Amino acid sequence: MAPTILFLCPHGAAKSILAAAYFEQAAAQHDLKLHVEAAGTEPDPAVSPVVAGWLAQEGLAPWANRTPRLVRAEEIGRAWRVVSLGCDLDHLVPTGTIIDHWDNVPAPSQHLRAACDLIRHHVAQLIAELRHE
């Protein structure tokens, strides 16, 4: 099984979904074999309608149709790489787990284009880093 990269945001309904969708697309373009997941620490019942519509327009509809889910400490501990987009993970992170923090991403509900652009930038940096490893 491929290593898992886990994207987390508080509600699992916007930032983590966007990051996972963009990362999965970029990883496929660079032939990086990774399993991509998204979750939240306090998940909403559904993906943000604004985000779902945006992803559908960008041809990433499978991510738009996901149901946000609660992340568990065990999942964080098993992940090969964890990216937090504004989560408080102190109570969930096993000792020794390294978390990448992309806390500068604005709320997609208020600044969708800016959030997407910044997430794509972070994804491009991560892909470049992974290609060099």
Q: How many domains does the chain have?
A: 1
Other Cβ atoms less than 10 A from the Cβ of 95: the count is: 5
**pLDDT higher than 90, residue 85:** yes
CA–CA separation, 22 and 20 (whole Å)? 6
Host domain of residue 80:
4-132
Angle between helices 15-29 and 112-132 (to 10 degrees): 40
**CATH number of the CATH domain containing 99:** 3.40.50.2300
Residue pLDDT, tens place only, 116-129: 999 999 999 999 99
Residue pLDDT, tens place only, 97-118: 889 999 999 999 999 999 999 9
Longest dimension (CA), the chain: 40
Residue pLDDT, tens place only, 7-46: 999 999 999 999 999 999 999 999 999 999 999 999 999 9
